[in-house]
Structure 1
Amino acid sequence: MSNYELMVIFTPVLSEEEFKNAQKKYETLVKENGGEVLHTNPWGLKSLAYPVAKKTTGLYWVMEYSAPTSFNEKLKIQLLRDESVMRHMFTVLDKYAVEYNAKKRSGVKHSEPQKSEA
């Protein structure tokens, strides 16, 4: 099982409830296919860098999960079929990214090197 991060931009016309239901749908899909959802982070409504389907904003959502490699194709098909999804992007996380995300979630700050006053 590998670790992945999925960012999805949903259409901004979704209600709060529809946005939550869409998130649950993909979390459930991961769990049903032998994966594990490690963390989710709904960013909410953000401006897009360029218009997509004549929309200038989108509802952003990020999910970190671990799953078998073969599962990503199933997830991709579901995302492409979903009319509320404007864009999506998968990122494979290496061990350093997983460690960084875990530290970030737990609130550990990056330590700066000590300065000597010699």
Structure 2
Amino acid sequence: MSNHVDYAQARSYCLSLDDVIEDYPFGIEPLVFKIGDERGKMFALLVRSEPAQISLKCDPDRAEMLREQYPAITAGYHLNKRHWNTIVLDGSVPDEECLALIAHSYDLVRPKRRKA
């Protein structure tokens, strides 16, 4: 087991969130995590490379700040670069930060609950 968030740990964490499914809408890679069903909104794209990479939706201001803070975080690969970041899971971004960014992405695309 690695000493930092890797492909298996990122996948496991994404699947631990409510109402998440895995999908392969673009072929064998990336593994896409969506909320709901195959028509649901995607919040994470995970690539099995060495090291693995995960692309996550992010608040634009926070996205810029993270790119300045961590060399392993860049503008989303093949995604809207204002709203998505790609993180190389090489251990240089703290585990807590990686998991918090997955949760942040999930929260951004999760359907908002209506007030009764």
Structures share a fold, TM > 0.5?
no
Length-normalised TM-score, structure 1 = 0.30
TM-score using structure 2 length: 0.30
